[in-house]
Amino acid sequence: MTSEQTATRPGSRRLGVAMIGYSFMGRAHSHAWRSAPRFFDLPLAPELTVLVGRSAEAAQAAADQLGWAEAETDWRSAVNREDIDVVDICTPGNTHAEIAAAALAAGKHVLVEKPMANTVAEAESMARAARDAQSRGVQAMVGFTYRRVPAVQLARQLVAQGRIGDVRQVRAQYLQDWLADENSPLSWRLDKEVAGSGALGDIGAHAVDLTTFITGERFAGVSGMLDTFVRERPVAESFRGLHGTAGDQRGPVTVDDAALAMARLESGAPVTLEATRYAWGRKNALRIEVSGTSGALAFDFEDMNVLHLYEANADALTSGFRRILVTEPDHPYLEAWWPPGHGLGYEHSFTHQVVDFVRALASGEQPTPSFEDGLHVQRVLDAVERSAGNSSAWTSVGT
C-alpha cells in the first residue's frame, strides 16, 4: 500500500473506498479522497481501495494514474468486498439507483453524484433504501459539492444569522457555453435515457440545491419552460455503440438545452431559476443573489473566493455591495489551507465534501445533503419538466 492510497494519521481506522466510474467526476473525487486526510485532521483514514470501470484496460490505467490500489470491471463484486466501507458513485444518472441500493443493502456507506437519480420514482426508492440503511448505522449522501465552497458556506451562515433579514426573493442561474457550438458532438449527457434531462438536471440541480442550502427553505411550486435549440448533433465515434447510431453522421438530442422557471419557496418568497449550456462566454457561472428585508448577498462561482454583501442600514454615503474575500482562517474550511488572499479552486470543494462526509461517518451523524435532500431536488426538477409539458402551468413540487 502506497502513501497515495491511505491516510497517514497514526491510529486512524481505515475507511476502504470503492469508486464506480472514473471520468470527469471520478478524477475530481479521486483527488479529494487523496488530499482530504493530508490537509485536515480526520478521524478515519480513507483508503483508495478499488476503482471500477467497464473496460479492464482503461480502468487499470485510470487506477494507476489516480492512485487507486486496484481496478475491477464488476461493480457488484466491488460493493460486496469485505474491505470496502464506502461506495462512491460517479457514473451517469441511469445507474445510480441500482448501485446505491445494492451498496446500502451490503452495509456500505454511499456517496452519489448529483442529480441523485433520473426520475422521482428512482429517487424515492433510493431515499427508502437510505432510511432503512440508516437504521443499521449505514449513511448516504448526495454530492452537491458547491455547498462546500467557503463563500457559499459563509452566505448560509449570514442568512441564518439574520444579516439580510427575512428572505424576500432569490435569483439563481447556472450558465455555461460548452454546447453553444451546434457542431459539438453528442455525448451521454444529451441522451435522456442515460442522463435523465439536459441542462435542467445537469446544472439546474445545483441552482436548486444552492437555493435551498443558503435560504434554509424548500420549494413549494414552479412554473417551468424547457427548450432544445439544436436537435441533432454529430455522432462521435466513442458514442456510437451507446447510442446505437453507428454509421450515421448526426444523431438526435433528446434532452433540454435550457431550463427556466419561476418558483416559490415554502415561505412564499419568489425564485427565478435559469440553467443553460448555451450562454456564450459563460464557462461555469453558477450565480445566486438573495434579497432580504434588510440586505442582500450575491455569489458567482466564476469569482468563487468572493461573496458580496449589502446591508441596508449602512451609511448612505458609502453604501453598496461589500466585496468579502473569503480566504481568512476564520472562514469555513480555510484553517487548513493557505495564507489569506491565496484563493482556492474548483477541486477544493470536493476535498471539503470528503472531510464533512468522513467526519459524519465517524460520529454516526447523517451527512448532508441527505438522500431526502436529493429527493427534494429531484421533485423540483420533475415539477419543472411537468410544468413545461403543460403550457408552463403552476405545478406543486409535492412531498
What single string gives the DSSP state of each residue in 368-382?
Answer: SS-HHHHHHHHHHHH
Note the residue count of the chain.
Answer: 399
Write the burial class of residue 75 (CB in 10 Å: 0-12 exposed, 13-18 middle, 19+ buried). buried
pLDDT at residue 12 in the model: 72
Q: In 3D, which of 187, 264, 182, 263 has the Cα closest to residue 228?
A: 182
pTM: 0.94
Q: How far apart are CA 50 and CA 71, in angstroms?
A: 5
- DSSP tag of 358: H
Q: What digits encode the pLDDT tens for the residues 132-146?
A: 999 999 999 999 999
C-alpha cell read off for 29: 473525487
Cα of 213 vs its chain's centroid, Å: 12
Q: How far apart are CA 262 and CA 394, in angstroms?
A: 9
Answer for the pair 262, 270: CB distance below 8 angstroms, yes or no: yes
Q: How far apart are CA 203 and CA 223, in angstroms?
A: 18
Q: In 3D, which of 57, 89, 150 has the Cα closest to residue 336?
A: 150
pLDDT at residue 236 in the model: 78
φ, ψ (nearest 5 deg) of residue 92: -60, 155
Neighbouring-strand partners of residue 286 = 174
Beta strands across the sheet bearing 285-292: 322-325, 306-311, 295-300, 285-292, 167-175, 270-276, 258-265, 219-227, 395-396
Q: How far apart are CA 159 and CA 301, in angstroms?
A: 18
Torsion angle, alpha carbons of 144, 146, 148, 152, to 10: -130
CA distances from 135 to 22, 99, 364, 368 (A): 31, 19, 11, 17
Answer for the pair 87, 143: CB distance below 8 angstroms, yes or no: no
pLDDT at residue 2 in the model: 35
DSSP-derived 3-state class of residue 191: coil
CATH number of the structural domain 149-342+370-388:
3.30.360.10
Answer for the pair 69, 63: CB distance below 8 angstroms, yes or no: yes
C-alpha cell read off for 239: 458514442
| pLDDT averaged per 10 residues in sequence order, the chain, 399 residues | 41 90 97 98 98 97 98 98 98 97 98 96 98 98 98 98 98 97 94 95 98 98 98 80 58 97 98 98 98 98 98 91 98 98 98 98 97 98 98 94
Answer for the pair 259, 274: CB distance below 8 angstroms, yes or no: yes
Neighbouring-strand partners of residue 120 = none
pLDDT at residue 6 in the model: 40
Q: What digits encode the pLDDT tens for the residues 77-101?
A: 999 999 999 999 999 999 999 999 9
The domain locations on the chain are 13-145, 149-342+370-388
C-beta neighbour count of 131 within 10 angstroms: 14
Cα of 89 vs its chain's centroid, Å: 12
Instruction: Give the class (CATH, top level) of 13-145.
Output: alpha beta
